[in-house]
Amino acid sequence: MDKATNQRHFSVMIDDKIADRLEQFCSTVGVSESAVVEVAINYFFDDPQIISGLMKGYREMASLNREISHDFSCCEEDADIHLTQYRQGLQNFH
């Protein structure tokens, strides 16, 4: 006798391009979207290099974003000062 499997439902948001690719793939291969998503998720979790690569990439991007924010914070402050002066000039004009 087969062991019963419990199934859980999840909602996932994907953009139209990925949804169209998934639909096209499923109709071409003749499998359900759920089956394709299950295979993709299992592949993702079964390959530690994928997860390691993603984690490394996110860490690198965090450092890069921190550097960019730091480098441009003075520009943002300067722009804010000029914008405030411009707005005050408009108020004085009226």
pLDDT digit string, tens, across residues 11-34: 889 999 999 999 999 999 999 999
Percent of the chain that is helix, strand, coil (3-state, to 5): 80, 0, 20
> At a CB cut-off of 8 Å and minimum separation 6, what does 25 contact?
36
Per-residue confidence (pLDDT) for residue 4, from 0 to 100: 59
Position 27 scores a pLDDT of 95
User: Do 22 and 14 touch, CB atoms closer than 8 A?
Assistant: yes
Range of the structural domain that residue 59 is part of: 30-90
User: Does residue 24 sit within a domain?
Assistant: no
* pTM (predicted TM-score): 0.46
* Total domains present in the chain: 1
Question: Is 37 exposed, middle or buried, given 0-12, 13-18 or 19+ CB atoms closer than 10 A?
Answer: middle
The pLDDT of residue 78: 87
pLDDT for 31 equals 94
Spatial contact of 59 and 48, defined as CB atoms under 8 Å apart: no
- The answer to the question of residue 3 being in a domain is no
- Residues lower than pLDDT 50 in the chain: 1
Q: Is residue 61 part of a domain?
A: yes
